[in-house]
């Protein structure tokens, strides 16, 4: 009798999880156009909109640089949003005060790609020299 209850409970959990997964909203996919860099903006209806920022970008890091330029331009014009989301060839790009992260989805795991140096520039994390307390000092020479 106890085994039946355990099996029934386990089956209920599995079926419940499957039902919740099936009911979930469809995942937003990043555009896969080759070499095109997008800014992901939101309209009043909360539906994301992909705005072209640059074309003919050879790598995702170049797209991140174009998005960083755009972020800094908005801040210089009086904007207050320090975070930006972009997309490049099927991946999302997240820019914030710590640096740049990449992900296959908007709410999935993020890969830390570029860190901010002591003066705010972006660099590969291993190239940044740090103080003993961990604060960035400069980019290591080549």
> Checking phi first, is residue 123 left (phi over 0); if not, alpha (psi -120 to 50) or beta?
beta
- At 16-66, the pLDDT tens digits run 444 444 455 578 899 999 999 999 987 666 778 899 999 999 999 999 999
Specify the number of domains making up the chain.
1
Please check whether residue 19 lies inside any domain of the structure: no
Per the model's pLDDT, the better-predicted residue between 102 and 140 turns out to be 102
pLDDT tens, 88-125? 999 999 999 889 999 999 999 999 999 888 788 888 87
Indicate whether 57 belongs to any domain. Answer: yes
pLDDT surpasses 70 at 67: yes
Give the pLDDT of residue 15. 45
In a domain, 31, yes or no: yes
The answer to whether the CB of 114 falls within 8 A of the CB of 123 is yes
Whether 103 is in a domain gets the answer yes
Q: Kindly state whether residue 12 falls inside one of the protein's structural domains.
A: no
Does residue 67 sit within a domain? yes
Say what the pLDDT of residue 34 is.
96
The pLDDT assigned to 8 comes to 47
Domain that holds residue 103: 26-139
In a domain, 8, yes or no: no
Domain for residue 20, yes or no?
Answer: no
Rounded to an integer, what distance in angstroms lies between the CA atom of residue 25 and that of residue 8? 28
Give the predicted TM-score (pTM) of the model.
0.71
**Could you give the C-alpha distances from 104 to 14, 30, 67, 99, in angstroms and in order?**
26, 8, 17, 17
Cβ neighbours for 103, distance < 8 A, ≥ 6 positions apart: 91, 92, 94, 109, 110, 111
With beta carbons less than 8 A apart as the criterion, state whether 54 and 87 touch: no
Helix and strand numbers (H, E) in the chain are 2, 9
């Amino acid at each position: 009798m106890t085994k039946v209850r355990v099996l029934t409970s386990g089956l209920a959990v599995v079926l419940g999880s499957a039902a919740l997964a099936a009911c979930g909203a469809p995942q937003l996919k990043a555009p896969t156009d080759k070499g095109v860099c997008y800014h992901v903006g939101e309209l009043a209806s909360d539906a994301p909109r992909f705005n072209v920022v640059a074309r003919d970008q050879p790598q995702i890091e170049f797209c991140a640089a174009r998005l960083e330029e755009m972020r800094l331009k908005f801040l210089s014009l009086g904007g207050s949003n320090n975070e930006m989301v972009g997309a490049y060839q099927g991946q999302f790009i997240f820019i914030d005060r710590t640096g740049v992260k990449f992900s296959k989805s908007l709410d999935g795991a993020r890969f830390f790609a570029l860190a901010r140096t002591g003066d705010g520039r972006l660099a590969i994390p291993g190239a940044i020299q740090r103080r003993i307390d961990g604060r960035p000092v400069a980019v290591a020479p080549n």
